[in-house]
């Protein structure tokens, strides 16, 4: 096995167009489903399958190329740029929903409860948070407290950040056992987080009257925590792939971009959760 000194440039790529076709089919299916068309769900499943096949195929190819030493130092730098700016775009995406929460709580809800809006439209509206608005959209609900499952989930994610770093130290110290154990713990904590969140959502819907339709509180609560939960799932799946590759003897102390990228992503998900815990649950 040799390591190239030259920058590797592939000459043909079939996975990108396959992945695009899959994603487009999936979204076209979803749009059809929302419009009430009966072919929607079938298209979604077909698109998803194509997309998953693409992910497996493309990542297998990348892993093979990486392990056979085709990527030199510069290729690694390009990949790091790619991952870094991808995560930046994700941060911006979350910022939109945090911004929405901020604007709603600090500007638009108070405006609904003052001046002419209050006098002429909704004199009885009490503009306090949490609210489902003057129209009481979605009916009575209880807001989600911070100190039950959410706090437990905070501890779980923080711990998973530690186990992830512990695994990284194992990788750097050529301690394969520590690497694998650390990753198993991280993945398990990730899925535990998602399980607790599912329980939390179940309670909200069945016992608390809190749904996605519970006015702007329900909208912002489920949008923020829901997108975050989706990202935890994605991160845990990425880490599972890294775990599988670790058991196959992949990664070296000087060459383990996939591990690094997964770890960056995981820490990003972790930090977003801290923001959620403070702004959605605590405040």
Q: Which of these segments, 153-161, 219-227, 230-238, 264-272, binds another protein (CB under 8 A)?
A: 219-227
Whose Cβ is closer to another protein: residue 5's or residue 206's? 5
123 lies in the binding site for another protein (CB under 8 A): no
Q: How many residues bind another protein (CB under 8 A)?
A: 70
State how far the Cα of 163 lies from the Cα of 267, in Å rounded to an integer.
11
The closest of 224, 204, 215 to 275, measured between CA atoms, is 224
The DSSP H or E segment spanning 233 is helix 215-247
Minimum distance between the CB of residue 179 and another protein, rounded to whole angstroms?
Answer: 27
Minimum distance between the CB of residue 230 and another protein, rounded to whole angstroms?
Answer: 12
Out of 150, 215, 229, 235, the only residue in the binding site for another protein (CB under 8 A) is 215
State how far the Cα of 98 lies from the Cα of 211, in Å rounded to an integer.
19
Q: Which of these segments, 89-97, 149-157, 247-255, 270-278, binds another protein (CB under 8 A)?
A: 89-97
Whose Cβ is closer to another protein: residue 58's or residue 151's? 58
Whose Cβ is closer to another protein: residue 12's or residue 147's? 12
State how far the Cα of 251 lies from the Cα of 165, in Å rounded to an integer.
15
269 lies in the binding site for another protein (CB under 8 A): no
State how far the Cα of 42 lies from the Cα of 55, in Å rounded to an integer.
20
Minimum distance between the CB of residue 269 and another protein, rounded to whole angstroms?
Answer: 16
Q: What angle do CA 76, 79, 85 make, to 5 degrees?
A: 140
The closest of 145, 141, 274, 271 to 219, measured between CA atoms, is 141
For residue 51, how many other CB atoms are within 10 A of its CB?
19
56 lies in the binding site for another protein (CB under 8 A): no
Rounded to whole angstroms, what are the CA distances from 174 to 178, 180, 221, 245? 9, 11, 43, 15
Binding residues (CB under 8 A) for another protein: these are 4-17, 19-21, 23-24, 27-28, 30-31, 34-35, 58, 70, 74, 77-79, 81-82, 85-86, 88-90, 92-93, 95-97, 99-100, 103-104, 107-109, 111-112, 131-135, 137-138, 211-213, 215-220, 222-223
């Amino acid at each position: 096995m040799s390591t190239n000194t030259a920058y590797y440039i592939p000459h043909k790529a079939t996975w990108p167009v396959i992945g695009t076709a899959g994603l487009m089919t999936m979204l076209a299916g979803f749009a059809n489903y929302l419009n009430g068309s009966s072919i929607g769900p079938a298209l979604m499943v077909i698109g998803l399958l194509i997309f998953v096949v693409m992910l497996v195929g493309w990542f297998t190819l990348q892993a093979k190329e990486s392990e056979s030493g085709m990527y030199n130092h510069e290729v690694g730098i390009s990949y790091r740029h790619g991952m870094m700016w991808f995560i930046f775009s994700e941060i911006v995406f979350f910022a939109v929903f945090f911004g929405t929460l901020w604007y709603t709580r600090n500007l638009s809800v108070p405006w609904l409860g003052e001046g002419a809006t209050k006098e002429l439209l909704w004199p009885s509206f009490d503009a306090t948070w949490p609210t489902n608005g003057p129209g009481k959209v979605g009916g009575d609900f209880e807001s989600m407290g911070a100190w039950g499952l959410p706090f437990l989930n905070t501890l779980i994610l923080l711990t998973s950040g530690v186990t992830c770093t512990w695994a990284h130290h194992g990788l750097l110290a050529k301690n394969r056992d520590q690497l694998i154990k650390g990753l198993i713990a991280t993945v398990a904590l990730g899925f535990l987080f998602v399980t607790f969140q599912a329980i939390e959502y179940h309670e909200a819907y069945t016992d608390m009257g809190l749904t996605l339709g519970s006015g702007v509180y329900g909208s912002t609560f489920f949008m923020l925590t829901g997108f975050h939960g989706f990202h935890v799932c994605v991160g845990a799946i990425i880490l599972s792939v890294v775990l599988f590759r670790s058991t196959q003897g992949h990664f070296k102390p000087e060459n383990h971009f996939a591990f690094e990228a997964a770890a960056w992503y995981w820490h990003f998900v972790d930090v977003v959760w801290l923001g959620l815990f403070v702004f959605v649950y605590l405040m």
